[in-house]
Structure 1
Amino acid sequence: MKAQELVDAAAGLVPAPGGRVLLGIAGAPGAGKSTLARLLVAELCDRLGPEAAAYVPMDGFHLSNIQLERLGLTNRKGSAPSFDVWGYLALLRRLRSHPATEPVYVPDYDRALHEPIAARHLVTPATRLVVTEGNYLAAGDAAGPGWAQVRAALDIVWFLATPDEVRDTRLIARQREGGRDAHAARAWVDTNDHPNGDLVNAHRAPDVRVITVEP
């Protein structure tokens, strides 16, 4: 689908003022989830008002490097166990039930710092569509405890299907930009990103809408 068609489809999900819908965008690493989610939010805010939609990245719930080291997960950063799934789930549930008089502040992951940071994003009381994205939103129990509840907390999930060769190129570039040399980037993608992607692709929930973004 063309990007504008996806914007139109997302606009059709926006409820009347006072309501709120949670749209999740799942997919393997490098699929383009954050790019699509940010595009949807920007376009919908331009079309419907500056607070109509808000971006909520699952990556804000990366465990810190200190916690990854404690758990022996430093080399598996980005795998399902390397996220605070229960914190993410609590946020989704709060967004569903939070009083409409209070804002909700949302964390993000900073690729320059290689750490999560607090309160980068905001969901206001006027927000009607929350767009969240992450690898494991449609993987359910295959990703481990808590992820099936994450799926249940979302009203709608789209699964962004992107060719493996496109993802591979993006993932290598991401690791090079993050400071790894060519050999280290290739090793990280092969031993971490691709196994994570294999799990995500193999355990896609049957009730998701599979989408592609045309250039």
Structure 2
Amino acid sequence: MLVDDAVALVPSIPGRRALLGLVGAPAAGKSTLARRLVAGVDERLGAGTAAYVPMDGFHLANAQLDRLDLRDRKGAPETFDVDGYVVLLGRIRAERTRPVYAPDFDRRVDEPLAAALVVPPGTGLVVTEGNYLADDGPGWSQVRDLLDELWYVDTPRRLREQRLLRRHIRGGRTPEEAHDFIAASERPNARRIEASRAHCTRVVDPRG
């Protein structure tokens, strides 16, 4: 059971902290699995033992994407503040006496939210997830060195794209616009992410 493996990552020495990364293609179920692992660890070891910090909080704001003419590529590696994400992971590893605040992403408004999440001082395991944690691109290659383990979340393409279609329609796109965005952006991103799985510690089924 994946919760058992997450519990095993929690350091036995007080004051120590481990970071677990989950990587996978869009709509693979990374955020759902991350939240399940955090809840499972807290249930076993006590509330506040684990915390969740998604990479999606480092999406560039839509205003920046418009300035860079990248709105139609939203979700690609260049549409994230990777340097900010790397700095945050470093702070999470180093800071154990004060809370560390982190951004989240609100799908309802399709924008990041500053300081919406917190890693309390006593947290022993931080679960982070995102598309490019195993990527070799500029900035992204630093992420792996900050993680204790990196799991690749493997979900069939057909299921992922069904989820993406529903997600984009809920977000305001027409079915045709959603299909076009998946073909033009989500699939190329997925291929890049799949090519990075060799850098991961293990491959997991999010339903496991």
TM-score by length of 1: 0.93
Could you say which residue in structure 2 is the equivalent of 1:133?
A: 129
Q: CA RMSD in A?
A: 1.1
Using the alignment, how far apart are the partners of 1:120 and 1:96 within structure 2? Answer: 19
Using the alignment, how far apart are the partners of 2:147 and 2:207 within structure 1? Answer: 25
Could you say which residue in structure 1 is the equivalent of 2:28?
A: 31
Could you say which residue in structure 2 is the equivalent of 1:161?
A: 154
Task: Single out whichever of 202-211 and 31-40 deviates more from structure 2.
Answer: 202-211
Could you say which residue in structure 1 is the equivalent of 2:105?
A: 109
The aligned amino acid for 1:107 is P
Deviation at 1:205, TM superposition (A): 3.5
What are the equivalent positions in structure 2 for 1:7-156 lying under 5 Å apart? 7-16=3-12, 17-98=14-95, 100-139=96-135, 141=136, 144-156=137-149
Could you say which residue in structure 1 is the equivalent of 2:168?
A: 175
Deviation at 1:203, TM superposition (A): 2.4
Q: Is the 8 A contact 1:92 1:153 kept in 2?
A: yes
Could you say which residue in structure 2 is the equivalent of 1:194?
A: 187
Q: Is the 8 A contact 1:138 1:208 kept in 2?
A: no
The aligned amino acid for 2:190 is G
Using the alignment, how far apart are the partners of 1:32 and 1:172 within structure 2? Answer: 14
The Cα offsets for residues 91-122 of structure 1, whole Å up to 9 and x where unpaired, read as: 00001111x22001110110011110012211
Gaps of at least 5 residues in structure 2 are: none
Using the alignment, how far apart are the partners of 1:56 and 1:39 within structure 2? Answer: 13
What percentage of residue pairs aligned between the two structures are identical? Answer: 54
Deviation at 1:45, TM superposition (A): 1.1
SS in 2 for 1:12: helix
SS in 2 for 1:210: strand
Q: Is the 8 A contact 1:26 1:137 kept in 2?
A: yes
Using the alignment, how far apart are the partners of 2:125 and 2:87 within structure 1? Answer: 18
SS in 1 for 2:143: helix
TM-score by length of 2: 0.96
Gaps of at least 5 residues in structure 1 are: none
SS in 2 for 1:69: helix
The Cα offsets for residues 135-184 of structure 1, whole Å up to 9 and x where unpaired, read as: 00012x2xx21011011111110000111001010110110111111101
SS in 1 for 2:167: helix
Using the alignment, how far apart are the partners of 2:200 and 2:108 within structure 1? Answer: 35
